[in-house]
Structure 1
């Protein structure tokens, strides 16, 4: 944990972000931070049909033989576990046999959130007993099986370094006033994960057009290695971003608190105290999907689709057909209540978020 002494050596922004979000008493150790009553809300908070659409897509993959039973369905970064719960509940409603051949799990490094997720799943009621576990990391398969892994707003929560005009951002820790400090970008100032990423980009002839160096590589390396131990593996994720993204400091990174946002440039120019943001604000940034695609490709996964959330939910996952089925089963009044929530997914968030799906190269088409 970062201490708060009278004076310490400056630390990279990535270290500040890591400890602010995930250290002892870090921002994400409190699941109440996320949601409509928290500092920000996600697609999971907007409508249960977000999880329902993912369930419909899983059924489509099984029906087409792209995934086979038994099947592990795993969410990474599940917070309360609501999204995986919605997926499981919709699978139960949409299929008469699939649920009994599925095992559900969350991957969560924070022990407090693992307990929250276990407690939430214990409150859900299904037509059959289901297997649910909360793991610290993705387990190897015990028997031949397939796996479908999902996440929502995951990659924007990884620590990152910030570079600008051949300098890298550090944070001073003088007493209780922490400030940004630009240092010359060189071997000694660049954290190892960012140095590794720069080498990967160079080897892939990838032109760096952003000021963000996300610490994704160890996670993607471990995820893809374990996922390929399964017979077939798919990975679905939603996040905000774009291809070949340019991340100006006037937009990335950003700090969210109580549904208000301040960007890094404002923090630096207004001399806002980083100490006041430490463990009190979410820290996030837009992701460069072309960079994510490069890294997954390097580790043996191929892109199935990439598109705006609205198009993914409509064209890939059939959310509108799902709503029509819901109307026939539950009536127009219930449908009308849900359609307003789904509009948030499709209109408010639909053009801002990107859905990406990958599969291991040994998976069937």
Structure 2
């Protein structure tokens, strides 16, 4: 038997794991993300970044990092909107992606080359441990739901044997975390503490921003599920054959934001904000960007983009389910 977290780690991050090679996101893939819905997601983040620079909270020479960049769409969208809103910043800001898989680094480099030619110099790092930066704005979209996790059920912990889930003796660390958040049933993420510590040590000054789905409160139920061509299968669904889904489909769960925030605070960060995606994107100025489209490209272009943005901010869609959290060092 192996811990479920070890099984999930191999499922997603082995050399032949689900995330090791480029996967389509959106209509042709297994799932949607905010990035695949609308460029204005990155545009709103770019507008927020510019505001931080204008207010003196970041300098114009800061380094911009994305973690979990997939093809590089989000960082490219941020750059595109910086060019539109304050193009002189492209002369002083530098752009980086942290990506452990060389196959994905290649895809990202090609996308940036096709998008920007030689205008933007993109630098890659294999991990946070290789970064030493004075000042950075770091963005990550939907990465914490993909950290390996342990399954907890009534004082026991999940293990895998022959693609079957069994519950047995819980480890001291997992027991400590589950008791802290009064969790009897659900997922305990593995690695939040190490990630926050590595992030803190990588930068002298840092503004970190992330979007993901989950809540501050523990549901005391399993949220872990498998996505396959936009079909959702709870992990314990009788129709799901774990052996067939292994490394071929995405596996994810709701983020316990209380655990995540505590991990960052323990590493030394100050929590700057925690909001729904709806509130965050409105605060960042996404509706103001839509007004710019109306002025410059007309009502029909505005309407097309507004319909996409609706998916991002409508409470019944992604607006309430997804949360934004930011931290400052």
TM-score, structure 1 length as denominator?
0.84
Q: Which residue of 2 aligns with 1:296?
A: 264
Is the counterpart of residue 154 in structure 1 residue 143 in structure 2? Answer: yes
Q: Which residue of 2 aligns with 1:214?
A: 189
Deviation at 1:271, TM superposition (A): 7.6
Is the counterpart of residue 163 in structure 1 residue 152 in structure 2? Answer: yes
What runs of 5+ residues in structure 2 fail to find an aligned partner?
A: none
Q: Which residue of 2 aligns with 1:82?
A: 73
Q: Which residue of the other structure, out of 179, 196, 210, is the alignment partner of 1:237?
A: 210
Query: Is the radius of gyration larger for structure 1 or structure 2?
Result: 1
Report Cα offsets for 1:242-280 as digits up to 9, x if no partner: 11222412xx211110101111232xxx28432111111
Q: Which moved more, 1:46-55 or 1:205-214?
A: 205-214
Deviation at 1:330, TM superposition (A): 1.8
Q: Secondary structure at the match of 1:236?
A: strand
Whether contact under 8 Å (1:78, 1:108) holds in the other structure is yes
Is the counterpart of residue 61 in structure 1 residue 30 in structure 2? Answer: no
Equivalent residue runs for 1:354-365 within 5 Å: 354-360=323-329
Q: Which residue of 1 aligns with 2:106?
A: 115
Is the counterpart of residue 224 in structure 1 residue 200 in structure 2? Answer: yes
Structure 1: how far apart are the matches of 2:146 and 2:239?
Answer: 24
Whether contact under 8 Å (1:156, 1:284) holds in the other structure is yes
Whether contact under 8 Å (1:209, 1:244) holds in the other structure is no
CA 318–271 in structure 1, closer or farther in 2 if over 3 Å, else same: closer
Report Cα offsets for 1:61-82 as digits up to 9, x if no partner: 0000000121111000000000
Is the counterpart of residue 339 in structure 1 residue 314 in structure 2? Answer: no
CA 272–329 in structure 1, closer or farther in 2 if over 3 Å, else same: closer
Equivalent residue runs for 1:212-291 within 5 Å: 212-215=187-190, 216-227=192-203, 229=204, 232-249=205-222, 252-266=223-237, 270=238, 272-291=240-259
Q: Which residue of the other structure, out of 263, 267, 279, is the alignment partner of 1:311?
A: 279
Count of matched residue positions in the alignment of Structure 1 and Structure 2? 325
Whether contact under 8 Å (2:60, 2:92) holds in the other structure is yes
Q: Secondary structure at the match of 1:349?
A: helix
Is the counterpart of residue 328 in structure 1 residue 328 in structure 2? Answer: no
Is the counterpart of residue 133 in structure 1 residue 123 in structure 2? Answer: yes
Report Cα offsets for 1:126-169 as digits up to 9, x if no partner: 8x832211211234346xx4200001111000000101012111
Deviation at 1:35, TM superposition (A): 2.3
Q: Which residue of 1 aligns with 2:165?
A: 180
Report Cα offsets for 1:99-119 as digits up to 9, x if no partner: 110111111111211111111
Structure 1: how far apart are the matches of 2:12 and 2:91?
Answer: 36
Q: Which residue of 2 aligns with 1:44?
A: 35
TM-score, structure 2 length as denominator?
0.93
Whether contact under 8 Å (1:179, 1:273) holds in the other structure is no
Whether contact under 8 Å (2:155, 2:175) holds in the other structure is no
CA 206–168 in structure 1, closer or farther in 2 if over 3 Å, else same: closer
Structure 2: how far apart are the matches of 1:272 and 1:343?
Answer: 32
Q: Which residue of 2 aligns with 1:363?
A: none
Deviation at 1:291, TM superposition (A): 1.2
Structure 2: how far apart are the matches of 1:330 and 1:125?
Answer: 22
Structure 2: how far apart are the matches of 1:11 and 1:284?
Answer: 19
Whether contact under 8 Å (1:114, 1:135) holds in the other structure is no
Deviation at 1:322, TM superposition (A): 1.1
CA 12–200 in structure 1, closer or farther in 2 if over 3 Å, else same: closer
Say what the alpha-carbon RMSD is for the aligned residues.
1.9
Structure 2: how far apart are the matches of 1:30 and 1:40?
Answer: 16
Q: Which residue of 2 aligns with 1:5?
A: none
Deviation at 1:196, TM superposition (A): 4.2
Structure 2: how far apart are the matches of 1:293 and 1:209?
Answer: 20
